[in-house]
Chains A and B, each alone.
Chain A
Amino acid sequence: DQQVKQNSPSLSVQEGRISILNCDYTNSMFDYFLWYKKYPAEGPTFLISISSIKDKNEDGRFTVFLNKSAKHLSLHIVPSQPGDSAVYFCAASLNTGGFKTIFGAGTRLFVKA
Chain B
Amino acid sequence: SQTIHQWPATLVQPVGSPLSLECTVEGTSNPNLYWYRQAAGRGLQLLFYSVGIGQISSEVPQNLSASRPQDRQFILSSKKLLLSDSGFYLCAWSVGGGYEQYFGPGTRLTVT
Q: Which residues of A contact B (CB under 8 A)?
A: 4, 6, 9, 32, 34, 36, 41-46, 49, 89, 91, 93, 97-106
Q: A41-B108, A97-B98, A99-B32 in contact; A4/B103 too (CB < 8 A)?
A: no
Instruction: Please report the C-alpha to C-alpha distance between residue A42 and residue B57 in the assembled complex, in whole angstroms.
Output: 25
The answer to whether A43 and B104 have CB atoms under 8 Å apart is: yes
B92 nearest CB across to chain A (Å): 7
The answer to whether A105 and B90 have CB atoms under 8 Å apart is: no
The answer to whether A43 and B41 have CB atoms under 8 Å apart is: no
Question: Which of B32, B46, B98, B105 has a CB less than 8 Å from the CB of A43?
Answer: B105
* A/B interface sample: 9 pairs, CB < 8 A: A42-B106, A43-B104, A43-B105, A45-B102, A91-B44, A97-B97, A98-B32, A98-B101, A101-B99
Interface: B94 (CB within 8 A): yes
Interface: B35 (CB within 8 A): no
Interface of B is mostly: strand
The answer to whether B100 and A49 have CB atoms under 8 Å apart is: yes
A18 nearest CB across to chain B (Å): 24
Given A9-B41, A43-B105, A98-B100, 11 more A-B residue pairs with CB atoms under 8 Å apart are A6-B43, A36-B103, A41-B106, A42-B105, A43-B90, A43-B106, A49-B99, A97-B97, A97-B98, A101-B99, A105-B41
Closest to B104 in A: A43
Q: A4-B43, A105-B43 in contact; A43/B103 too (CB < 8 A)?
A: yes
Residues of A within 8 A of B51 (CB): 99
Instruction: Please report the C-alpha to C-alpha distance between residue A44 and residue B103 in the assembled complex, in whole angstroms.
Output: 6
The answer to whether B105 and A98 have CB atoms under 8 Å apart is: no
Q: A104-B43, A105-B43 in contact; A46/B97 too (CB < 8 A)?
A: no
Of the candidates B32, B96, B101, B106, the one having the most CB atoms from chain A within 10 angstroms of its own CB is B101
Residues of A within 8 A of B106 (CB): 41-43
The answer to whether A101 and B43 have CB atoms under 8 Å apart is: no
